[in-house]
Amino acid sequence: MNREALRRYSRQIILPEIALAGQQRLAASSVLVIGAGGLGAPVLSYLASSGVGRIVVSEDDTLDVSNLQRQFLFDSTQVGQPKRELALRRLHALNPLVTLEGARRFEESNAEELLSGVDLVIDSSDNASTRYLVSDTCAALEQTWVWGAAEGFTGMTAVFDHTLSLRDAFPDPVSDDNCDTVGVFAPLLGQVGSQMAGAALKLLVGLPVKRGVLTLIDALEGTMRAVKLRRSQ
């Protein structure tokens, strides 16, 4: 690790739980992040600034002015442009030491291909069909993944592996309601995304992380609670 990297990550390296060995593990890690929107913005920003070595961004949407209320990777001059390219440029400016790659939308046809060669998957998508596809693919490949969702004033996060999946939390696929149809409190996305990024970084460093626990965030009441999940079958 060169002098520039040591200085950039110094406030993280001095944490005894991370130290130089943990920072080197981050630098050697590869992560797939699905979605660069409201949840993807804090997730991607923290992963890149913390020095995760390779980040693959799966996104195929274009920027709409209504996104700017919560998606802080972008600005008003970029409306109508592809989010993937915008996110990659912003993250490179944030930290040119990490390797950034773009990928098209996460679909059944490319799901296994996108998961190959990564150490961790983070699902920041905003629709039920993608979330369940991520869950089913990761479970089948015994891949650990971090999941989050938010709408209105309510947010949820969890870390899953092959022993528990999204279907154990929600056996029946929920509707495809999202921020466009039900609205969302912008700071909630920062809370949920930060929880997701924190779990991801701890997993990559090798710190303990609770799996199969659903964390519920109520941004209106200002409360959080954890629910232990069980296998649905």
Task: Report the pLDDT value the prediction gives residue 76, as an integer from 0 to 100.
Answer: 98
Task: Report the pLDDT value the prediction gives residue 232, as an integer from 0 to 100.
Answer: 73
Q: What is the 3-state secondary structure (H, E, C) of the chain?
A: CCHHHHHHCHHHHCCCCCHHHHHHHHHCCEEEEECCCCCHHHHHHHHHHHCCCEEEEECCCECCHHHHHCCCCCCHHHCCCEHHHHHHHHHHHHCCCCEEEEECCCCCCCHHHHHCCCCEEEECCCCHHHHHHHHHHHHHCCCCEEEEEEEECEEEEEEEECCECHHHHCCCCCCCCCHHHHCECHHHHHHHHHHHHHHHHHHHHCCCCCCCEEEEEECCCCEEEEEECCCCC
Residue 14: pLDDT band (50, 70, 90) is: very high
Find the mean pLDDT for residues 115-131: 94
Find the mean pLDDT for residues 108-129: 95
Highest CATH level, class, for 3-228: alpha beta
